Structure 1
Amino acid sequence: MRDLQRLKMGAWNKTLSEATAVVKSLSTPKANLAKIEFLACVTAFLLMLLTISGWLRRRKNDQKLRRLLWAAYTLTSYLIVYTLGLMTEASFRNELLPVWAIFLMIFFGSSDSYSVHSLEDCEQWKTYVWQYVIKVTGVTFLLVMSGITLPMISVLILCLIVPLKAFRRAASLKIASGYGRQMTTKLIADYMRTEHQSSEGDLDPSQMRGYNYVVRVRKTSLMSLKMLIKREAAERWEAQNYRKPLEITDRVVTIEKVWKCQGWLLTSGGGDKDGKLKDICLSFSLYKLLRLKFSDYSLPKQAHEKAWKLIEHLYAEGNGLERAFRVVELELSFLFDSFYTKYPTIFQSFGWKIKVIELLLLVIGVPVTIGLCFPWYDSNGPQDVQLATAGGLSIDFLVTILILLIFTCGELVQCFFMAISDWAKVSLLCKYVRTNSWHEKKWMEKLIGLICRTQFLEPWERKLHQYSLLESYDYTPSRLLYNVFTDLFMDPIRDGQKQSAPVKLSSEVKKAVFCSLMSNPEALQNGEASLIRNGVAHNLSWARKLETQTEVIMVWHVATVIFEHMAPVLDPSLNSNFLVTINLSKYLAYLVAFYPKLLPDHPYDSEYIFDGIIIEARHLLKGCKTVEERIRKLNKISKTMEDTSKVMIQGAQLGQQLLDVENEPNFVWKVLAEFWAELMVYVAPSNNAIAHAQHLAKGGEFVTHLWALVSHAGIQREPPIE
């Protein structure tokens, strides 16, 4: 027995000693060096991932992609801090530590196409600056302790890139913050208060005559700017003026000037037959107006009426539907970039020059780093610890080469994206309008035209996400992933929240919605106009007078699904009204289930109502497996149940009324298509601009496109019916 205990004790001591040896081996200088190299490489790969995937965010509404990018964005910041800490506390000497530290500081400047993950990050611009100062202090200490060596010469060149990267990111965060938005939009806000007065009686949207919407203001030199400030200060002393003046001179490009440009590139009979180049400038000017919504600046009624005439003209022209939608798409692309990328700072007066300096430093610094580090390590320079392969080649040097390659590839990719970005196109077109000498250079015009027409992907996903209550109400997410404990770490998925497959945003849907918008923009109604127009308001209007908009949407959604299954269409692809009805019904139900912030009701009220509907559906339709069984049971219950206040019962009753309409099914599909199109327009106006901006980083929504249109026109919905 004692021998057995001795054997067990011996085995335990052996295991403990082996574990202790492993722990000690992980704490050796070589192990710490390997850890630093590994973390530096991982950080570089994560930054490359953000650089390549940044432009995918607004083109793909995919939750898995968002989680991956969030993880990469979050981990990068922590890895940089942790790795720099390991370097400064290292008990060994390695001459390449300063080189890696400088690259980590460059990575802290983030990608040009992925400056922040969410709008909340923009408000932390002061925190970012202080973090940068602290990190620079630590890296400076590391450089001083390393002494002057050959690799340090290359470090001094690369050091110049660090402040350029960091300060540009800080400036981007500040501009996108609440204070920055107010500061940068005041000039346009003050100008647009009186812009409509300059064109009274002389307005022609077809030629943009009278539309002095600002596209771009050429910045003056520093000396001229100082003189201008002194002159304005003197004038203010004599006559106080609290408005920022903007005088339309040669340095200001307006929409009217773009349309009047006689250069071949921008003429309808020359290089811009389809008007797409001029529309890029139009989208940029409208984007400037849309930014006022995020700064609490308002425009007078006359300014909105003038903008509405422009929108009407865009829609009335040949292929006007696609053109109007294209202009709004590009406008929202500029809005996305202003919040989530560095493009607004890069394309400021000196921003692109700073970017050129960065590239020059890259071109000089990378070869110098390789040229100096390789012979230094090839001759076994003075370092205490280094890792080497079997062939004798230093792994430290290979890690440095890998980081340099990733950094170089990332910068080249960013420059390519920047060169074909919409911001570059606007800059080139405005420069073309101002520079008459460019009008005589065919090669210049062809080059600008080639850049401005280069587009690899659509600006947005162009899909309608779908949700069907009768298909998904019984869905229950995994309780292992979503419970009271994980609610603190991730957005919960509630019961019944399961999307259907998304559908393409078809031209039929866009046409139906735009027609509804154009038919009665003065006073949006909750579907009433379409019901009156089709002569069914006396029977169906009750279903649009419910207490909340959430209930209205879900009641009509249930009724639409019932009618779809009880009166099926033989060939859905040939019935445009059917496609419009089904797509919009499931899309608005999707907004209720997943993004109620984009709808009129209070978001939590919508969530509470939706949860109640799910409980109601599970109770009433317990045991039903297929949609057909659920519809039959729901219709049966609705005829006998006395309590008609429940959404499911009201939906069944409305569905029965649709089936009882004394006309052919195609007429009912027409009624439903026009109703859902009008309802889509009705929910578009919103004072919660931030909610739309937040959703731009998730792929955008069709309702946001409509919101932009009605915001320009100043369209408001009718107050809710009491």
Structure 2
Amino acid sequence: MGLLSTARAGLHHPCTTPAPAPSPDEKDKMMYRALVFTTVLMAILGSTLCVVGMERLIRGRFTLFSMARFLLRFAFVIFLPLLSYMNSHSNGNVDQILFILMWMLLVELIRKKVQAMVPAADGSFSRASCKFKPMNHSDEVTRLVWIGYLIYTNIKNSSQSVMTMFAILWSLVLAKLGQRVFNEWKAQESLTAAGNAQLIAGYMQYVLEKDGASTCTDDPMANCEYVVMGEEKLVLKKKERRHLKRHDLKVLTITTPHCGHGVGRFPHDQNELKHVHLRVDLDKVKSLVTVKMIWQKLGGLPRLCCLFTKRGRGFVDHLRLLCLSFSFFKLMRRRFEHYPMVEVGSMMTRRLMLQGLLSHGGSGSKLTDEESAMVAFRVLHLELDFLDNYYQAGVPVVMSAPWLFFINFLSSLLFVLVYIITAAILVVRAVHHHDFTHMPLYFIITILLLITLLAVEITELLTAYLFSNWFLVHLLCLYTAPGGCLWNCLVKPIICCFIAFRFLVFCSLRIALLLIGRPINEKKMKIKQVSILHVCEPVRKILSSASPVTLTSQAKVAIIEFLKQINLDTGDVGLLDLGSFNVSGKTATEIILACHLATELLAMEHGKQKKKKKKKNPQDPDHRTVATTLSRYCMYLVARAPELLPDDERWVSDTYEDVRSCLEEVASRRRCSCATRCGGGAWRRRCWKAVKEVGEEQLKDTTVWDGVVLFRQLRLMEATAAWKDLAGFWVRLLVYLAPSNDVEGHAMALASSGGDLITCHWAFCTHAGIRRQSSPDQAERHDAHEPRVSQV
């Protein structure tokens, strides 16, 4: 009884008395505040998209655009439950219910756009990504029918004007849904969107057969037959196929040989890919806009466009490279959608990539090594941007039929007009009923939602169409296409004026970003870094993840120079030994870990690198910076992006953990005080000295021992020679790692971060047909055990 009485007494103690539950009015106020906050956040984020969306066109994927899109989608997810709460607690207030229904219609209008703004992180770059699927719209239809039922049950006793305006609003939203369905179906049937990869596969078979054994030219770009636009005109239409004669010389049937479902190795055997059969009208081949035509015709642009740059030819060269990147994007799409790339590995393609792009990069005159490297990396980045943007919602629709995009934008403006009229009618109705309680709040929410809708629509119009690189390429193709006197006198000057206007807009945006401390330098390329020694330190372990640094121009030049040395006949790239360090019999992960450890120990041995003056002798390259930068980037691939390496991810992870555990065990043998550990520098010098002096019997991991042995060999060499050998080795290793048949891994990289340095190399090696050269013993074992299928 004593315990019971004590417990009862405790229930009435002032410290244990539960707080009173909030009243319904307080709950409503809290929910209203949350609703206003969410609406304000949505309007701010929608407006921010307009600015950062334009910035993304210049800077690429690495902007705040992805974060703004994610937060906007998050705000929409929160906004819908708040509307449901307000609807359930309206207490029969018809005016409040009508405002909520109007908001629900507007949210339903832009819900699909907001959901599609966050790209799929699974890298679903496949043929099925552009297919029309009716089930994708079943949820939208269900929600729209439910909203229509709510509107009918709540406005049947309202005035005629209210009923008319809500009926128009609901019909417009339904029409927008039907338009989205039609857009997807149109993109699926279009030869410029979903069917383009198959068409490009057939056309490249025709180009390869036409090229044959053509002689080498001084300018491969000026003779490149890669298509930029217009390939959909080659296909025979239904009427043409119906009246086709059996032996018509104007029609050529193209078939990709050695393809079809089966077994094969990319790129030399492509038996696992689809057969392509295509009937082509040869009379229309000359009407295609090719890279060759772009190179010839864009040189005639008015000098007005060339005055905007420091050098007269700079702007024209940029336009040429943009069209070349778009052509490469069309070629690369076949790799993701599993269509044959018949030109890969041919002399024509290797000559174009290794001699054309890497030598003068599209300009009419010879460039320096640094300028040539900058141009090559710029072309690859633009290609990856085209590829990444295509597999997002809206872009296939724009490419298939641009007029659909304008109809979509005009219908949204019509909805905005009706929306404003409906809101005005509801405000007048509320004033007439003397309902002034929440009228200012309703008005603010209505205006903020309207701002969000306009911001999303304008952002899509500017970034996906009007100022997009795709639209600029389309205009350049229209400019180079032949036309009559009216076309040359009227349309082409308009195109030139729009290009000049676009350039002025971009220059203004660059100046604005410069004033707010966000300058744009297209020549810079950021790569992420990880050091195995930092990962093993107890203090810096958490802070050691992927800090990006700028890839120096010397590293770019070294990579491009090594690519130029690849044999045009074979396209094989091998991995040479580093001194007496024999790489045969070791996996790529073990080579990276051992050589990275040796590089880090050598950098610590030589001390902190002094900063050199900006004006340094070009004959004195900084091999140490090149070696350490590429070494830590390869270490980043091991630690953070194992899917981009040749070895399987489990092996990479296990090998990395074994090396890290071994290094931590060796370093922990040094007894240091806690204060010394926290000091960082002193702890690092003492503990890694143990690694330098460790014996083989004290190590449990052979990869660590290989790295220590390599470091001791490099320490005996002269510093400049050692760093020169290391820089050359890391350049060869990076190019050696790039060729890959793992399309899904690079698709993941494109979807998540817009591509990385190794993704750029992968794209280049895919086009040029560069492959890893296997060692003789591996080739013998492969030939002995390779299953063969005889042809029946």
TM-score interval (norm. to shorter): 0.7 to 0.9
Q: Describe the shift of the 1:48–1:447 C-alpha distance in structure 2 as closer, same or farther (beyond 3 A).
A: closer
Q: How many residues align?
A: 677
Is 1:710 matched with 2:765? Answer: yes
Q: Is the 8 A contact 1:280 1:330 kept in 2?
A: yes
Q: Is the 8 A contact 1:66 1:698 kept in 2?
A: no
Q: Is the 8 A contact 2:200 2:231 kept in 1?
A: no
Q: Superposition pairs for residues 101-500 of structure 1, below 5 Å?
A: 101-111=104-114, 114=117, 116-119=119-122, 127-147=135-155, 149-150=161-162, 153=165, 156=168, 160=172, 164=176, 168=180, 183-200=195-212, 201=214, 204=217, 206=219, 208-217=221-230, 228-232=237-241, 235=244, 243-247=277-281, 248-249=284-285, 252-261=288-297, 264-265=300-301, 273-274=313-314, 275-300=317-342, 304-311=346-353, 312-317=355-360, 318=367, 319-349=371-401, 352-374=402-424, 376-380=426-430, 387-388=437-438, 393-417=439-463, 418-434=465-481, 436=483, 437=486, 439-440=488-489, 442=493, 444-451=495-502, 454=506, 456=510, 457=520, 462-475=525-538, 498-499=544-545
Shift of 1:118: 2.1
Shift of 1:678: 0.6
Paired residue type of 1:232: R
Q: Is the 8 A contact 2:47 2:452 kept in 1?
A: yes
Shift of 1:693: 2.3
Paired residue type of 1:708: A
Query: Equivalents in 1 of 2:385, 2:89: separation in Å?
Result: 45
Instruction: Please report the TM-score for the alignment, with normalisation by the length of structure 1.
Output: 0.81
Q: Is the 8 A contact 1:112 1:343 kept in 2?
A: no
Q: Describe the shift of the 1:142–1:607 C-alpha distance in structure 2 as closer, same or farther (beyond 3 A).
A: same
Is 1:565 matched with 2:604? Answer: yes
Query: Equivalents in 2 of 1:62, 1:306: separation in Å?
Result: 34
Q: 1:547 aligns with which of 571, 576, 586?
A: 586
Shift of 1:470: 0.9
User: Which residue matches 1:690?
Assistant: 744
Q: Is the 8 A contact 1:283 1:331 kept in 2?
A: yes
Paired residue type of 2:652: S
Q: Describe the shift of the 1:424–1:443 C-alpha distance in structure 2 as closer, same or farther (beyond 3 A).
A: closer
Shift of 1:153: 2.1
Paired residue type of 2:111: F
User: Which residue matches 1:632?
Assistant: 689
Q: Describe the shift of the 1:354–1:62 C-alpha distance in structure 2 as closer, same or farther (beyond 3 A).
A: closer
Paired residue type of 1:330: L
Q: Is the 8 A contact 1:185 1:292 kept in 2?
A: yes
TM-superposition CA deviations, 1:189-214 (whole Å, max 9, x none): 12212312223326647274542212
User: Which residue matches 2:556?
Assistant: 510
TM-superposition CA deviations, 1:647-677 (whole Å, max 9, x none): 222211110011123xx21111111111111
Which runs of 5 or more structure 2 residues have no equivalent in the other structure? Answer: 256-275, 361-366, 511-519, 671-676, 678-682, 779-792
Q: Describe the shift of the 1:694–1:365 C-alpha distance in structure 2 as closer, same or farther (beyond 3 A).
A: same
Structure 1, 586-595 or 253-262: larger mean CA deviation:
253-262
Structure 1, 46-55 or 518-527: larger mean CA deviation:
46-55
User: Which residue matches 1:490?
Assistant: none
Shift of 1:187: 1.1
Query: Equivalents in 1 of 2:11, 2:81: separation in Å?
Result: 44
Shift of 1:294: 0.5
Q: Is the 8 A contact 2:123 2:747 kept in 1?
A: no
Query: Equivalents in 1 of 2:422, 2:305: separation in Å?
Result: 57
Query: Equivalents in 1 of 2:171, 2:32: separation in Å?
Result: 22
Shift of 1:219: 6.3
Query: Equivalents in 1 of 2:534, 2:708: separation in Å?
Result: 15
User: Which residue matches 2:725?
Assistant: 671
Q: Is the 8 A contact 2:593 2:707 kept in 1?
A: yes
Q: Is the 8 A contact 2:122 2:748 kept in 1?
A: yes
Q: Superposition pairs for residues 56-95 of structure 1, below 5 Å?
A: 70=70, 72-73=72-73, 76-77=76-77, 79-80=79-80, 83=83, 87=87, 92=92, 93=94, 94-95=97-98
Q: Describe the shift of the 1:346–1:146 C-alpha distance in structure 2 as closer, same or farther (beyond 3 A).
A: farther
User: Which residue matches 1:489?
Assistant: none
User: Which residue matches 1:719?
Assistant: 774
TM-superposition CA deviations, 1:335-370 (whole Å, max 9, x none): 110123522322332xx3233233333444434433
Is 1:620 matched with 2:666? Answer: yes
Paired residue type of 1:216: M
Q: Describe the shift of the 1:10–1:398 C-alpha distance in structure 2 as closer, same or farther (beyond 3 A).
A: same
Shift of 1:109: 2.2
Q: Is the 8 A contact 1:258 1:278 kept in 2?
A: yes
Shift of 1:84: 6.4
TM-superposition CA deviations, 1:139-164 (whole Å, max 9, x none): 22233234354485277258536654
Q: Describe the shift of the 1:360–1:155 C-alpha distance in structure 2 as closer, same or farther (beyond 3 A).
A: farther
Structure 1, 550-559 or 91-100: larger mean CA deviation:
91-100
Query: Equivalents in 2 of 1:497, 1:173: separation in Å?
Result: 49
Which runs of 5 or more structure 1 residues have no equivalent in the other structure? Answer: 478-494
Structure 1, 587-596 or 88-97: larger mean CA deviation:
88-97
Shift of 1:112: 10
TM-superposition CA deviations, 1:14-65 (whole Å, max 9, x none): 958x42x63x44777x887777666666555565566665677895888999
Q: Describe the shift of the 1:235–1:80 C-alpha distance in structure 2 as closer, same or farther (beyond 3 A).
A: farther
Query: Equivalents in 2 of 1:203, 1:185: separation in Å?
Result: 28
**Secondary structure class of the residue paired with 1:340:** coil
Q: Describe the shift of the 1:613–1:263 C-alpha distance in structure 2 as closer, same or farther (beyond 3 A).
A: closer
Is 1:604 matched with 2:650? Answer: yes
TM-superposition CA deviations, 1:503-560 (whole Å, max 9, x none): 112211111111111112545455317x5xxxx4xx23x2x23531111001001101
- RMSD (CA atoms): 4.4
